[in-house]
Structures are given as C-alpha cells and as structure tokens.
Chains A and B, each alone.
Chain A
Amino acid sequence: EAGVTQSPTHLIKTRGQQVTLRCSPISGHTSVYWYQQALGLGLQFLLWYDEGEERNRGNFPPRFSGRQFPNYSSELNVNALELEDSALYLCASSLWLRNYEQYFGPGTRLTVT
C-alpha cells in the first residue's frame, strides 16, 4: 500500500512570492492534515480537510490556505511568503473519524530567501 506522498520535495522561494504544496493521501483515507515544522517552533497544526471541507484550522494567518479535491488529494497555498515561513511542511492522512491514526508523508522543505 502506497503511503502519503508530497510534492515537491523541496523548493526555494523569494519573500513575497506564492507557493503551492501538494499531498496525496493513502488510498481510502478521506482526511488530510497539514502541519508546519519550523526550526525552534516545533510541529504546529495548520489545517484539516475532509470530504472537500475545511474542518479545522490552526493559529495561522489567512495567507495560509488550502483545498481538498474530489480524489481527496490536497493543496496547501501560502501567499505573500515571509522569511519565517521557511519550514518543513508535513501532510498526514487518516480514515474518516479515525483522526487519532494519522499517517505522515515525507514533507516538503520550503526555504524563503
């Protein structure tokens, strides 16, 4: 069974630009979660999507947004990039109502210069 996949593996952007990160969940999983792992800040919950709807949002500004597609894959968009957005962005997936079993992808390393 294929695990959670994320693309790209890493990317470098300039402050003020916009970026889109992608995540494909494990087959059969309908929930997708996004976490930010920034140096010194640990892992922080960003967003939760299920059945195409945003179910919960962490304490992040509105320039962090996303969506979930009918095939349950998801995108995380970050607008107006700031230097402090440099981080590893992790995606996780789970079965519906089993969000206590989140399986993580390898992450996307974003560097903002």
Chain B
Amino acid sequence: AQTVTQSQPEMSVQEAETVTLSCTYDTSESNYYLFWYKQPPSRQMILVIRQEAYKQQNATENRFSVNFQKAAKSFSLKISDSQLGDTAMYFCAFMRPIGNTGKLIFGQGTTLQVKP
C-alpha cells in the first residue's frame, strides 16, 4: 500500500524568507502523481502544485517549486519570498493513475506559520 509521510508537524518562517517542507512516500509504482495542497485557516483546500512522476523536470508555480527525487521517493515543497497569506496547513498527496481509483492519499500535514 502507498503511504505518504510528512515528518515536520509544524514550521515557521519569517516573511520574505524561503522555507522547504518535506515529504516522502512509499510506492512500487513507476508512474504516479504527487501533489501539494494548502489548507488555510478558512479550511478550503487549494491545489498548490502537481508533479507527474514520469517528468524529470521539477514543477514550479510562481513562488512555489518542488524538488522531486524519484529514486529517493522524496517530494519537497519550496516556498520562496514567504508571505503572510502562505500561513496554512500543507498536505503532500499521492495518486496512482493505474486502476483509476480516484483516491488521493494524504500525508499528515505540516502547519506553516509565516511571521511578520
């Protein structure tokens, strides 16, 4: 069974600085999707970034980028120029397309606080 682990329950960063959130996963699949979701205190889950395992290039979305290390089964999220609005819980998630289960498997989450 696939598992996703986020080893940092809480993190904090000063506004305008850079922070990296860690995620590791376990799977025997060669093709899959990885995601980072953001859940602000308002609780609406927002997709931040998606990575397809067959793509070598790391995904980026504005200030958000990932470091995808397939062999190490690691998928970290880097937030550059942190803003107060980045304060949220961040979830790493995995999906296997084979079998089309529709199921996202989430890590336990990392609470990020951006301090002014």
The answer to whether A and B assemble together is yes
> Other than the known A43-B106, A45-B105, what 15 A-B pairs have Cβ atoms closer than 8 Å?
A33-B102, A33-B104, A42-B107, A43-B104, A43-B109, A45-B102, A56-B101, A90-B45, A99-B100, A100-B50, A100-B95, A104-B46, A106-B43, A106-B44, A107-B45
Q: Does A72 contact B (CB under 8 A)?
A: no
Q: Which B residues fall within an 8 A CB radius of A?
A: 33, 35, 37, 42-47, 50, 91, 93, 95, 97, 100-109
Contacts of A31 in B (CB 8 A): 102
The residues in A between 68 and 110 inclusive whose CB is less than 8 angstroms from any CB of B are 88, 90, 92, 97, 99-107
With contact pairs A42-B109, A106-B42 given, residues A101 and B103 touching in the complex (Cβ less than 8 Å): no
Mask: chain A, 24-50; 1 = CB below 8 Å from B; 0 = not: 000000010101000000111100101
Is the beta-carbon distance between A107 and B43 smaller than 8 angstroms?
Answer: yes
The prevalent SS among residues of A at the interface is strand
Q: Smallest distance from the beta carbon of A54 to chain B beta carbons, Å?
A: 11
Q: Does A58 contact B (CB under 8 A)?
A: yes
Contacts of B102 in A (CB 8 A): 31, 33, 45, 48, 50, 55-56, 99
